[in-house]
Amino acid sequence: MAHTYIRFDFGTEEEKAQQARHKLDGWRQAFRLDKRVQYKMDRPASDATESAAKSEPAGQENPAPAKTKGKPAKPVGKPAAKPAEAPAKPAAAANGKVGLLVRLYFSAHEKLSEQRWIDRIPSEEPFKSASPKIIHQHDPEFEATDQQFESLS
Chain segment 20-77, per-residue pLDDT in tens: 999 999 999 999 999 999 999 998 765 444 544 444 444 444 444 455 555 555 555 5
Give me the mean pLDDT over the 86-110 stretch.
Answer: 74
For residue 118, tell me if it sits in a domain: yes
Residue ranges making up the domain that contains 88: 3-47+78-151
For residue 105, tell me if it sits in a domain: yes
For residue 70, tell me if it sits in a domain: no
Share of the chain above pLDDT 70, in %: 66
Q: How far, in whole angstroms, is CA 114 from its chain's centroid?
A: 20
- Residue whose C-alpha is closest to residue 17's, from 126, 145, 90: 126
For residue 102, tell me if it sits in a domain: yes
For residue 62, tell me if it sits in a domain: no
User: What is the CATH classification number for the domain harbouring 83?
Assistant: 3.30.70
Q: Angle at CA 81, nearest 5°, toward 17 and 29?
A: 40
For residue 94, tell me if it sits in a domain: yes
* Domains identified in the chain, total number: 1
For residue 53, tell me if it sits in a domain: no
For residue 31, tell me if it sits in a domain: yes
